[in-house]
Structure 1
Amino acid sequence: MDPVASSSRLDDQEEEEEEVLVEDEQVLVEEQELDLPEGMNPEGFSGPTEKFVKPLTREALAAFQAAQNRAGVIYISRIPPGMRPTKVRHLMSAYGEVGRVYLQQEDAKRAYLRRKYTSTKKAHFTEGWVEFKDKKVARSVAEMLNAQPIGGKKGTRWRDDVWTMKYLPKFKWSMLTEQVAHEAAVHTAKLRVELAQSRAEQRDYLKNVELARVLDKRAEKKREKGEVMQLKERPPKRKRPKDDDGDGDTGERKSKKPPIEDSGVREAQMSSVLSSIF
Protein backbone atom coordinates (compact mmCIF):
# COMPACT_ATOMS: atom_id res chain seq x y z
CA MET A 1 0.00 0.00 0.00
CA ASP A 2 1.30 3.44 -0.93
CA PRO A 3 2.12 5.45 2.25
CA VAL A 4 1.59 8.72 0.39
CA ALA A 5 -1.94 7.76 -0.59
CA SER A 6 -2.77 6.59 2.93
CA SER A 7 -1.45 9.84 4.44
CA SER A 8 -3.50 11.89 1.97
CA ARG A 9 -6.63 9.94 2.89
CA LEU A 10 -5.99 10.57 6.58
CA ASP A 11 -5.54 14.27 5.88
CA ASP A 12 -8.83 14.36 3.96
CA GLN A 13 -10.65 12.61 6.82
CA GLU A 14 -9.20 15.05 9.35
CA GLU A 15 -10.27 18.01 7.21
CA GLU A 16 -13.81 16.63 6.91
CA GLU A 17 -14.03 16.09 10.68
CA GLU A 18 -12.81 19.65 11.30
CA GLU A 19 -15.45 21.01 8.89
CA VAL A 20 -18.20 19.07 10.68
CA LEU A 21 -17.02 20.37 14.05
CA VAL A 22 -16.96 23.95 12.76
CA GLU A 23 -20.50 23.59 11.38
CA ASP A 24 -21.74 22.17 14.69
CA GLU A 25 -20.13 25.05 16.60
CA GLN A 26 -21.72 27.59 14.26
CA VAL A 27 -25.13 25.98 14.72
CA LEU A 28 -24.72 26.05 18.49
CA VAL A 29 -23.71 29.72 18.43
CA GLU A 30 -26.72 30.60 16.28
CA GLU A 31 -29.05 28.69 18.59
CA GLN A 32 -27.60 30.28 21.73
CA GLU A 33 -28.04 33.76 20.29
CA LEU A 34 -31.80 33.22 19.98
CA ASP A 35 -34.05 34.66 22.67
CA LEU A 36 -35.66 31.60 24.21
CA PRO A 37 -38.34 31.54 26.90
CA GLU A 38 -37.42 30.51 30.42
CA GLY A 39 -36.90 26.76 30.80
CA MET A 40 -36.15 25.99 27.15
CA ASN A 41 -32.78 24.40 26.48
CA PRO A 42 -30.92 26.10 23.58
CA GLU A 43 -29.56 22.71 22.45
CA GLY A 44 -33.08 21.46 21.82
CA PHE A 45 -34.27 24.50 19.83
CA SER A 46 -33.96 25.12 16.13
CA GLY A 47 -35.44 28.35 14.78
CA PRO A 48 -35.45 29.89 11.32
CA THR A 49 -32.03 30.41 9.76
CA GLU A 50 -32.67 34.11 9.14
CA LYS A 51 -33.47 36.51 11.95
CA PHE A 52 -34.91 39.96 11.30
CA VAL A 53 -35.49 42.60 13.96
CA LYS A 54 -37.94 45.29 12.88
CA PRO A 55 -40.01 47.83 14.79
CA LEU A 56 -43.41 46.39 15.61
CA THR A 57 -46.42 48.13 14.09
CA ARG A 58 -50.13 47.41 14.20
CA GLU A 59 -50.03 45.89 10.76
CA ALA A 60 -47.08 43.70 11.74
CA LEU A 61 -48.83 42.63 14.94
CA ALA A 62 -51.99 41.74 13.02
CA ALA A 63 -49.95 39.80 10.47
CA PHE A 64 -48.12 37.96 13.27
CA GLN A 65 -51.39 36.98 14.94
CA ALA A 66 -52.79 35.79 11.63
CA ALA A 67 -49.66 33.70 11.03
CA GLN A 68 -49.97 32.20 14.50
CA ASN A 69 -53.60 31.30 13.83
CA ARG A 70 -52.65 29.63 10.55
CA ALA A 71 -49.74 27.68 12.07
CA GLY A 72 -50.07 24.10 13.26
CA VAL A 73 -47.96 22.02 15.64
CA ILE A 74 -47.23 18.29 15.51
CA TYR A 75 -45.94 16.29 18.47
CA ILE A 76 -43.22 13.65 18.03
CA SER A 77 -43.38 11.23 20.97
CA ARG A 78 -40.02 9.56 20.23
CA ILE A 79 -36.83 11.06 18.84
CA PRO A 80 -34.32 8.56 17.40
CA PRO A 81 -31.07 8.41 19.41
CA GLY A 82 -28.53 10.97 18.26
CA MET A 83 -30.96 13.03 16.16
CA ARG A 84 -30.62 16.77 16.77
CA PRO A 85 -33.11 19.62 16.14
CA THR A 86 -31.33 20.69 12.95
CA LYS A 87 -31.77 17.19 11.50
CA VAL A 88 -35.47 17.14 12.43
CA ARG A 89 -35.91 20.53 10.76
CA HIS A 90 -34.13 19.27 7.65
CA LEU A 91 -36.34 16.17 7.41
CA MET A 92 -39.60 18.03 8.06
CA SER A 93 -38.75 20.82 5.62
CA ALA A 94 -39.14 18.35 2.77
CA TYR A 95 -42.92 18.28 3.38
CA GLY A 96 -43.69 21.93 4.08
CA GLU A 97 -42.49 25.25 5.47
CA VAL A 98 -41.31 24.74 9.04
CA GLY A 99 -41.35 27.48 11.66
CA ARG A 100 -39.85 26.41 14.97
CA VAL A 101 -38.61 23.08 16.30
CA TYR A 102 -38.06 22.18 19.93
CA LEU A 103 -36.79 18.86 21.29
CA GLN A 104 -36.98 17.97 24.97
CA GLN A 105 -33.67 16.75 26.37
CA GLU A 106 -33.62 13.55 28.39
CA ASP A 107 -33.69 13.50 32.18
CA ALA A 108 -30.49 14.57 33.91
CA LYS A 109 -30.22 11.33 35.92
CA ARG A 110 -30.75 9.20 32.83
CA ALA A 111 -28.19 11.26 30.89
CA TYR A 112 -25.64 10.81 33.69
CA LEU A 113 -26.10 7.03 33.74
CA ARG A 114 -25.91 6.82 29.96
CA ARG A 115 -22.68 8.85 29.83
CA LYS A 116 -21.24 6.77 32.66
CA TYR A 117 -21.96 3.32 31.26
CA THR A 118 -21.93 3.94 27.48
CA SER A 119 -19.53 5.49 25.02
CA THR A 120 -21.97 8.13 23.70
CA LYS A 121 -21.42 11.50 25.32
CA LYS A 122 -23.71 13.69 23.21
CA ALA A 123 -27.08 14.86 24.43
CA HIS A 124 -30.10 12.70 23.62
CA PHE A 125 -33.64 13.96 23.11
CA THR A 126 -36.82 12.13 24.04
CA GLU A 127 -39.72 14.09 22.46
CA GLY A 128 -40.24 17.10 20.24
CA TRP A 129 -42.62 19.65 18.72
CA VAL A 130 -42.51 20.92 15.14
CA GLU A 131 -44.38 24.03 14.01
CA PHE A 132 -45.57 24.28 10.40
CA LYS A 133 -46.64 27.56 8.86
CA ASP A 134 -49.88 25.96 7.65
CA LYS A 135 -52.01 23.80 9.94
CA LYS A 136 -53.37 21.83 6.97
CA VAL A 137 -49.84 20.84 6.02
CA ALA A 138 -49.10 19.88 9.62
CA ARG A 139 -52.18 17.66 9.80
CA SER A 140 -51.39 15.94 6.50
CA VAL A 141 -47.72 15.42 7.46
CA ALA A 142 -48.69 13.83 10.79
CA GLU A 143 -51.20 11.51 9.13
CA MET A 144 -48.76 10.58 6.37
CA LEU A 145 -45.58 9.98 8.43
CA ASN A 146 -47.03 8.44 11.59
CA ALA A 147 -45.85 4.83 12.05
CA GLN A 148 -43.76 5.09 8.86
CA PRO A 149 -39.98 4.53 8.56
CA ILE A 150 -37.79 7.61 8.33
CA GLY A 151 -36.04 6.27 5.25
CA GLY A 152 -33.15 7.84 3.43
CA LYS A 153 -30.06 6.59 1.66
CA LYS A 154 -28.77 3.11 2.27
CA GLY A 155 -26.52 3.05 5.31
CA THR A 156 -28.13 6.11 6.90
CA ARG A 157 -28.20 5.94 10.67
CA TRP A 158 -31.96 6.48 11.09
CA ARG A 159 -33.19 4.75 7.94
CA ASP A 160 -35.01 1.95 9.77
CA ASP A 161 -36.36 4.10 12.63
CA VAL A 162 -40.09 4.79 12.71
CA TRP A 163 -41.81 8.15 13.15
CA THR A 164 -44.37 8.39 15.97
CA MET A 165 -46.14 11.73 15.66
CA LYS A 166 -49.54 13.30 16.15
CA TYR A 167 -51.16 16.55 15.08
CA LEU A 168 -52.23 18.77 18.00
CA PRO A 169 -55.43 20.61 17.10
CA LYS A 170 -55.90 24.11 18.60
CA PHE A 171 -52.39 23.93 20.05
CA LYS A 172 -50.14 26.96 19.61
CA TRP A 173 -46.45 27.52 20.23
CA SER A 174 -47.19 29.95 23.08
CA MET A 175 -48.86 27.10 24.98
CA LEU A 176 -45.67 25.07 24.66
CA THR A 177 -43.51 27.88 26.01
CA GLU A 178 -45.88 28.37 28.96
CA GLN A 179 -45.83 24.65 29.71
CA VAL A 180 -42.04 24.46 29.58
CA ALA A 181 -41.69 27.56 31.77
CA HIS A 182 -44.18 26.14 34.30
CA GLU A 183 -42.32 22.81 34.47
CA ALA A 184 -39.03 24.65 34.96
CA ALA A 185 -40.52 26.75 37.77
CA VAL A 186 -41.93 23.64 39.49
CA HIS A 187 -38.56 21.91 39.20
CA THR A 188 -36.80 24.95 40.69
CA ALA A 189 -39.29 25.11 43.57
CA LYS A 190 -38.77 21.40 44.35
CA LEU A 191 -35.01 21.88 44.34
CA ARG A 192 -35.37 24.86 46.68
CA VAL A 193 -37.48 22.84 49.13
CA GLU A 194 -35.07 19.89 49.04
CA LEU A 195 -32.11 22.20 49.66
CA ALA A 196 -33.89 23.82 52.62
CA GLN A 197 -34.63 20.39 54.12
CA SER A 198 -31.04 19.25 53.64
CA ARG A 199 -29.75 22.43 55.30
CA ALA A 200 -32.05 21.90 58.30
CA GLU A 201 -30.97 18.26 58.64
CA GLN A 202 -27.31 19.23 58.37
CA ARG A 203 -27.75 21.96 60.98
CA ASP A 204 -29.42 19.54 63.43
CA TYR A 205 -26.72 16.95 62.82
CA LEU A 206 -23.92 19.43 63.52
CA LYS A 207 -25.73 20.61 66.64
CA ASN A 208 -25.96 17.04 67.95
CA VAL A 209 -22.31 16.41 67.12
CA GLU A 210 -21.26 19.53 69.03
CA LEU A 211 -23.40 18.53 72.02
CA ALA A 212 -21.87 15.05 72.07
CA ARG A 213 -18.39 16.56 71.91
CA VAL A 214 -19.11 18.81 74.90
CA LEU A 215 -20.50 15.92 76.95
CA ASP A 216 -17.50 13.73 76.12
CA LYS A 217 -15.17 16.52 77.17
CA ARG A 218 -16.94 16.92 80.50
CA ALA A 219 -16.83 13.18 81.11
CA GLU A 220 -13.10 13.15 80.34
CA LYS A 221 -12.48 15.91 82.88
CA LYS A 222 -14.47 14.01 85.50
CA ARG A 223 -12.45 10.86 84.86
CA GLU A 224 -9.20 12.80 85.20
CA LYS A 225 -10.32 14.08 88.61
CA GLY A 226 -11.28 10.58 89.71
CA GLU A 227 -14.94 11.31 89.86
CA VAL A 228 -17.70 9.37 88.28
CA MET A 229 -20.56 11.10 86.59
CA GLN A 230 -23.83 9.99 88.05
CA LEU A 231 -27.23 11.08 87.03
CA LYS A 232 -29.25 12.65 89.84
CA GLU A 233 -32.26 10.60 90.69
CA ARG A 234 -35.48 12.39 91.37
CA PRO A 235 -36.87 11.75 94.88
CA PRO A 236 -39.98 9.59 94.89
CA LYS A 237 -43.30 11.25 95.54
CA ARG A 238 -44.67 10.85 99.06
CA LYS A 239 -47.96 9.07 99.42
CA ARG A 240 -50.38 9.47 102.30
CA PRO A 241 -50.37 6.38 104.52
CA LYS A 242 -53.60 4.44 104.62
CA ASP A 243 -54.48 2.21 107.59
CA ASP A 244 -56.13 -1.06 106.76
CA ASP A 245 -58.02 -1.19 110.12
CA GLY A 246 -59.49 2.27 109.69
CA ASP A 247 -57.73 3.60 112.86
CA GLY A 248 -55.78 6.84 113.01
CA ASP A 249 -56.89 10.40 112.57
CA THR A 250 -60.30 9.46 111.29
CA GLY A 251 -60.88 7.24 114.30
CA GLU A 252 -59.76 9.95 116.69
CA ARG A 253 -62.02 12.49 115.01
CA LYS A 254 -64.90 10.08 115.27
CA SER A 255 -64.17 9.55 118.96
CA LYS A 256 -64.32 13.30 119.64
CA LYS A 257 -67.94 13.50 118.51
CA PRO A 258 -70.47 13.65 121.38
CA PRO A 259 -72.23 10.34 122.06
CA ILE A 260 -75.80 9.97 121.01
CA GLU A 261 -78.20 10.06 124.03
CA ASP A 262 -80.98 7.61 124.68
CA SER A 263 -84.54 8.55 123.65
CA GLY A 264 -85.96 7.97 127.17
CA VAL A 265 -83.55 10.37 128.83
CA ARG A 266 -84.36 13.00 126.22
CA GLU A 267 -88.13 12.69 126.95
CA ALA A 268 -87.52 13.08 130.70
CA GLN A 269 -85.52 16.24 130.17
CA MET A 270 -88.22 17.70 127.94
CA SER A 271 -90.94 16.98 130.51
CA SER A 272 -88.95 18.64 133.33
CA VAL A 273 -88.45 21.73 131.21
CA LEU A 274 -92.16 21.96 130.40
CA SER A 275 -93.16 21.49 134.05
CA SER A 276 -90.87 24.30 135.13
CA ILE A 277 -92.41 26.62 132.56
CA PHE A 278 -96.03 25.85 133.35
Structure 2
Amino acid sequence: MNVIFMGTPGFAVPTLEKLHESSHKVVLVVTQPDKPSGRGKKLKKSEVKEKAEQLNLEIFQPDKIKKQENIDILKSYNPDVIVVVAYGQILNKEILTLPKYGCINVHASLLPKLRGAAPLNWALITGETKTGITTMLMDEGLDTGDMLLKSEVEIDENMKVGELHDILMHKGAELLIETLDKLEKNELAPQKQDDSLSSYAPLFNKENRKIYWSLPAKNIHDLIRGLSPWPTAYFIMDEKTIKVYSSSYINDDSDYEPGYVIKANNEGIFVKAKDGIVILKEIQMPGKNKMSVEAYLRGNKFPEHITL
Protein backbone atom coordinates (compact mmCIF):
# COMPACT_ATOMS: atom_id res chain seq x y z
CA MET A 1 0.00 0.00 0.00
CA ASN A 2 1.06 3.58 -0.61
CA VAL A 3 1.11 5.29 2.78
CA ILE A 4 1.16 8.93 3.85
CA PHE A 5 2.54 8.99 7.40
CA MET A 6 1.60 11.81 9.79
CA GLY A 7 3.40 12.11 13.12
CA THR A 8 5.59 14.44 15.15
CA PRO A 9 7.12 13.29 18.49
CA GLY A 10 9.40 10.41 19.43
CA PHE A 11 6.38 8.18 20.14
CA ALA A 12 5.66 8.10 16.38
CA VAL A 13 9.21 7.23 15.26
CA PRO A 14 9.13 3.41 15.70
CA THR A 15 5.94 3.23 13.61
CA LEU A 16 7.62 5.19 10.80
CA GLU A 17 10.67 2.89 10.98
CA LYS A 18 8.52 -0.28 10.89
CA LEU A 19 6.51 1.10 7.96
CA HIS A 20 9.71 1.86 6.06
CA GLU A 21 10.95 -1.72 6.64
CA SER A 22 7.59 -3.29 5.68
CA SER A 23 6.09 -4.24 2.32
CA HIS A 24 4.19 -0.95 2.33
CA LYS A 25 5.62 2.20 0.76
CA VAL A 26 5.85 5.52 2.62
CA VAL A 27 5.24 8.07 -0.15
CA LEU A 28 5.22 11.14 2.13
CA VAL A 29 5.92 12.04 5.76
CA VAL A 30 3.83 14.89 7.17
CA THR A 31 5.06 16.46 10.42
CA GLN A 32 4.71 19.72 12.32
CA PRO A 33 6.83 22.73 11.25
CA ASP A 34 10.23 23.25 12.91
CA LYS A 35 9.77 25.15 16.18
CA PRO A 36 12.03 27.62 18.03
CA SER A 37 13.57 25.83 21.01
CA GLY A 38 15.89 26.54 23.94
CA ARG A 39 17.43 29.83 25.01
CA GLY A 40 18.76 30.66 21.56
CA LYS A 41 15.32 29.98 20.00
CA LYS A 42 17.08 27.89 17.38
CA LEU A 43 14.69 26.05 15.07
CA LYS A 44 14.27 22.44 16.16
CA LYS A 45 13.11 19.63 13.89
CA SER A 46 10.51 17.16 15.11
CA GLU A 47 11.83 13.69 15.96
CA VAL A 48 9.78 12.30 13.07
CA LYS A 49 11.43 14.76 10.64
CA GLU A 50 14.89 13.73 11.85
CA LYS A 51 14.07 10.06 11.29
CA ALA A 52 12.46 10.75 7.88
CA GLU A 53 15.63 12.58 6.78
CA GLN A 54 17.76 9.59 7.86
CA LEU A 55 15.50 7.32 5.79
CA ASN A 56 15.58 9.68 2.78
CA LEU A 57 11.79 10.04 2.79
CA GLU A 58 9.93 12.99 1.33
CA ILE A 59 8.80 15.45 4.03
CA PHE A 60 5.92 17.95 4.14
CA GLN A 61 5.49 20.42 7.04
CA PRO A 62 2.31 22.44 6.53
CA ASP A 63 1.42 25.13 9.02
CA LYS A 64 -2.27 24.21 8.67
CA ILE A 65 -2.97 20.84 7.07
CA LYS A 66 -6.62 21.76 6.44
CA LYS A 67 -5.82 24.52 3.90
CA GLN A 68 -7.09 23.52 0.45
CA GLU A 69 -3.68 23.81 -1.22
CA ASN A 70 -2.25 21.41 1.37
CA ILE A 71 -5.10 18.92 0.88
CA ASP A 72 -4.42 19.09 -2.88
CA ILE A 73 -0.77 18.19 -2.21
CA LEU A 74 -1.87 15.13 -0.19
CA LYS A 75 -4.23 14.09 -3.01
CA SER A 76 -1.40 14.28 -5.54
CA TYR A 77 0.31 11.34 -3.78
CA ASN A 78 -2.77 9.15 -4.29
CA PRO A 79 -2.38 7.35 -0.93
CA ASP A 80 -4.12 4.04 -0.22
CA VAL A 81 -4.08 4.93 3.48
CA ILE A 82 -3.00 7.74 5.81
CA VAL A 83 -1.41 6.63 9.09
CA VAL A 84 -1.60 9.11 11.98
CA VAL A 85 0.50 8.81 15.17
CA ALA A 86 0.50 11.86 17.48
CA TYR A 87 0.58 14.29 14.57
CA GLY A 88 -0.73 17.31 16.46
CA GLN A 89 -3.26 18.78 14.00
CA ILE A 90 -6.93 17.95 13.48
CA LEU A 91 -7.85 16.42 10.12
CA ASN A 92 -11.05 17.50 8.38
CA LYS A 93 -13.56 15.29 6.56
CA GLU A 94 -11.95 15.87 3.16
CA ILE A 95 -8.62 14.45 4.40
CA LEU A 96 -10.28 11.63 6.38
CA THR A 97 -12.11 10.39 3.28
CA LEU A 98 -9.27 10.99 0.81
CA PRO A 99 -7.49 7.57 0.88
CA LYS A 100 -9.09 4.32 -0.29
CA TYR A 101 -8.74 2.70 3.15
CA GLY A 102 -9.27 5.89 5.16
CA CYS A 103 -7.07 7.32 7.93
CA ILE A 104 -5.79 4.97 10.63
CA ASN A 105 -4.76 6.27 14.02
CA VAL A 106 -2.47 4.54 16.52
CA HIS A 107 -3.93 5.55 19.90
CA ALA A 108 -2.17 4.82 23.21
CA SER A 109 -5.10 3.41 25.19
CA LEU A 110 -7.65 0.62 25.09
CA LEU A 111 -10.48 2.59 23.55
CA PRO A 112 -13.10 3.75 24.36
CA LYS A 113 -11.18 4.37 27.61
CA LEU A 114 -8.95 7.44 27.73
CA ARG A 115 -9.77 9.30 24.54
CA GLY A 116 -7.83 12.54 24.16
CA ALA A 117 -4.33 13.95 24.19
CA ALA A 118 -2.70 12.36 27.26
CA PRO A 119 -3.83 8.71 27.59
CA LEU A 120 -0.44 7.42 28.76
CA ASN A 121 -0.35 9.75 31.77
CA TRP A 122 -3.97 9.25 32.77
CA ALA A 123 -3.74 5.45 32.62
CA LEU A 124 -1.27 5.68 35.53
CA ILE A 125 -2.93 8.59 37.35
CA THR A 126 -6.28 6.78 37.43
CA GLY A 127 -4.60 3.61 38.72
CA GLU A 128 -5.34 1.36 35.73
CA THR A 129 -3.74 -2.09 35.94
CA LYS A 130 -3.64 -2.51 32.16
CA THR A 131 -3.65 -0.30 29.11
CA GLY A 132 -2.46 -0.71 25.54
CA ILE A 133 -2.73 0.39 21.93
CA THR A 134 -5.81 0.62 19.73
CA THR A 135 -5.68 1.10 15.98
CA MET A 136 -8.81 2.80 14.69
CA LEU A 137 -10.41 4.25 11.58
CA MET A 138 -10.50 7.99 12.21
CA ASP A 139 -13.72 9.99 12.03
CA GLU A 140 -14.43 13.65 12.82
CA GLY A 141 -14.85 13.02 16.58
CA LEU A 142 -12.10 12.93 19.20
CA ASP A 143 -10.81 9.34 19.13
CA THR A 144 -14.34 8.07 18.45
CA GLY A 145 -13.72 6.08 15.24
CA ASP A 146 -14.30 2.36 14.70
CA MET A 147 -11.67 0.16 16.38
CA LEU A 148 -9.56 -2.25 14.32
CA LEU A 149 -7.02 -4.05 16.55
CA LYS A 150 -5.87 -3.87 20.18
CA SER A 151 -2.73 -4.86 22.06
CA GLU A 152 -2.71 -4.95 25.88
CA VAL A 153 0.04 -4.16 28.39
CA GLU A 154 0.06 -4.86 32.13
CA ILE A 155 0.87 -1.85 34.33
CA ASP A 156 3.11 -2.38 37.33
CA GLU A 157 2.11 -0.21 40.32
CA ASN A 158 5.47 1.60 40.28
CA MET A 159 5.73 2.05 36.50
CA LYS A 160 6.32 5.67 35.43
CA VAL A 161 4.88 7.25 32.30
CA GLY A 162 8.33 7.40 30.67
CA GLU A 163 8.58 3.58 30.84
CA LEU A 164 5.02 3.09 29.60
CA HIS A 165 5.67 5.50 26.71
CA ASP A 166 8.67 3.44 25.52
CA ILE A 167 6.80 0.12 25.77
CA LEU A 168 3.73 1.38 23.91
CA MET A 169 5.55 3.21 21.12
CA HIS A 170 7.04 -0.14 20.02
CA LYS A 171 3.77 -2.04 20.56
CA GLY A 172 2.02 0.61 18.46
CA ALA A 173 4.48 0.15 15.60
CA GLU A 174 3.93 -3.63 15.53
CA LEU A 175 0.15 -3.31 15.77
CA LEU A 176 0.00 -0.77 12.94
CA ILE A 177 1.83 -3.09 10.51
CA GLU A 178 -0.48 -5.97 11.50
CA THR A 179 -3.46 -3.65 10.96
CA LEU A 180 -2.35 -2.59 7.47
CA ASP A 181 -1.54 -6.16 6.42
CA LYS A 182 -4.97 -7.38 7.52
CA LEU A 183 -6.75 -4.38 6.05
CA GLU A 184 -5.18 -5.03 2.66
CA LYS A 185 -6.36 -8.67 2.80
CA ASN A 186 -9.84 -7.60 3.96
CA GLU A 187 -9.40 -9.53 7.24
CA LEU A 188 -10.58 -6.78 9.62
CA ALA A 189 -14.05 -6.15 11.02
CA PRO A 190 -14.19 -2.55 12.33
CA GLN A 191 -15.90 -2.40 15.71
CA LYS A 192 -17.98 0.52 16.97
CA GLN A 193 -16.96 2.09 20.27
CA ASP A 194 -19.37 1.98 23.20
CA ASP A 195 -19.60 5.65 24.15
CA SER A 196 -21.08 4.75 27.56
CA LEU A 197 -17.69 3.21 28.50
CA SER A 198 -15.63 6.17 27.31
CA SER A 199 -13.39 8.37 29.45
CA TYR A 200 -11.26 11.40 28.64
CA ALA A 201 -7.53 12.07 29.04
CA PRO A 202 -7.11 15.87 28.95
CA LEU A 203 -3.93 17.90 28.66
CA PHE A 204 -2.18 19.14 31.78
CA ASN A 205 -2.19 22.49 33.53
CA LYS A 206 -0.95 23.81 36.88
CA GLU A 207 -4.10 22.66 38.61
CA ASN A 208 -4.19 18.99 37.63
CA ARG A 209 -0.43 18.54 38.17
CA LYS A 210 -0.52 19.84 41.77
CA ILE A 211 -0.23 17.43 44.69
CA TYR A 212 -3.10 17.71 47.16
CA TRP A 213 -2.09 16.03 50.40
CA SER A 214 -5.77 15.58 51.36
CA LEU A 215 -5.96 12.79 48.76
CA PRO A 216 -5.20 9.13 49.60
CA ALA A 217 -1.49 8.24 49.51
CA LYS A 218 -1.95 5.83 46.56
CA ASN A 219 -3.65 8.54 44.46
CA ILE A 220 -0.73 10.90 45.09
CA HIS A 221 1.81 8.18 44.21
CA ASP A 222 -0.14 7.47 41.00
CA LEU A 223 -0.15 11.17 40.09
CA ILE A 224 3.63 11.42 40.60
CA ARG A 225 4.48 8.38 38.46
CA GLY A 226 1.88 9.35 35.86
CA LEU A 227 3.66 12.67 35.35
CA SER A 228 7.28 11.47 35.54
CA PRO A 229 9.45 12.51 33.80
CA TRP A 230 7.05 14.92 32.11
CA PRO A 231 5.19 17.21 32.78
CA THR A 232 5.89 16.50 36.51
CA ALA A 233 3.78 16.66 39.65
CA TYR A 234 4.64 19.38 42.16
CA PHE A 235 3.82 20.91 45.54
CA ILE A 236 4.36 24.34 47.01
CA MET A 237 6.55 25.06 50.06
CA ASP A 238 7.34 28.63 51.17
CA GLU A 239 5.89 29.87 47.86
CA LYS A 240 8.44 27.73 45.98
CA THR A 241 7.45 25.06 43.44
CA ILE A 242 9.08 21.69 44.17
CA LYS A 243 8.78 19.02 41.48
CA VAL A 244 8.53 15.34 42.38
CA TYR A 245 9.76 12.57 40.04
CA SER A 246 9.63 9.46 42.18
CA SER A 247 7.76 8.22 45.24
CA SER A 248 6.43 5.26 47.14
CA TYR A 249 3.71 5.04 49.77
CA ILE A 250 2.79 3.07 52.89
CA ASN A 251 -0.50 2.57 54.66
CA ASP A 252 -0.64 4.40 57.98
CA ASP A 253 -3.47 5.44 60.27
CA SER A 254 -1.58 7.96 62.42
CA ASP A 255 -3.52 11.14 63.06
CA TYR A 256 -1.11 13.72 61.65
CA GLU A 257 -2.90 16.18 59.41
CA PRO A 258 -2.52 15.80 55.63
CA GLY A 259 0.65 17.53 54.37
CA TYR A 260 2.53 17.08 57.66
CA VAL A 261 6.24 16.31 57.08
CA ILE A 262 6.96 13.48 59.52
CA LYS A 263 10.65 13.08 58.71
CA ALA A 264 13.24 13.52 55.97
CA ASN A 265 16.10 11.04 55.72
CA ASN A 266 18.01 8.95 53.16
CA GLU A 267 14.88 6.87 52.51
CA GLY A 268 12.95 9.96 51.45
CA ILE A 269 10.65 12.73 52.66
CA PHE A 270 7.72 11.21 54.58
CA VAL A 271 4.55 13.27 54.15
CA LYS A 272 1.17 12.36 55.63
CA ALA A 273 -1.70 12.01 53.17
CA LYS A 274 -5.39 11.38 53.78
CA ASP A 275 -4.82 7.71 54.55
CA GLY A 276 -1.20 6.67 54.49
CA ILE A 277 2.18 8.27 54.00
CA VAL A 278 3.76 9.33 50.72
CA ILE A 279 7.55 8.92 50.60
CA LEU A 280 9.11 11.38 48.15
CA LYS A 281 12.25 9.81 46.64
CA GLU A 282 13.37 12.17 43.86
CA ILE A 283 12.75 15.92 43.75
CA GLN A 284 13.79 19.08 41.97
CA MET A 285 14.13 22.33 43.89
CA PRO A 286 13.72 25.63 41.98
CA GLY A 287 16.77 26.41 39.83
CA LYS A 288 18.41 23.05 40.62
CA ASN A 289 18.74 19.73 38.83
CA LYS A 290 16.51 16.85 39.85
CA MET A 291 18.16 14.57 42.39
CA SER A 292 17.41 11.82 44.86
CA VAL A 293 16.34 13.00 48.32
CA GLU A 294 19.39 11.18 49.69
CA ALA A 295 21.69 13.32 47.48
CA TYR A 296 19.76 16.50 48.29
CA LEU A 297 20.08 15.93 52.05
CA ARG A 298 23.86 15.62 51.82
CA GLY A 299 24.16 19.35 51.36
CA ASN A 300 20.74 20.67 52.39
CA LYS A 301 18.09 20.32 55.05
CA PHE A 302 14.43 19.65 54.35
CA PRO A 303 12.17 21.04 57.10
CA GLU A 304 10.51 18.42 59.30
CA HIS A 305 7.41 18.73 61.49
CA ILE A 306 5.80 21.38 59.30
CA THR A 307 2.60 21.18 57.24
CA LEU A 308 2.92 21.73 53.50
Same fold (TM over 0.5): no
Greater helix share, structure number: 1
TM-score, normalization: structure 2? 0.22
Larger CA Rg, structure 1 vs 2: 1
Quick one: higher RCO (CA 8 Å, sep 6+), 1 or 2? 1
The structure with the largest strand share of the pair is 2
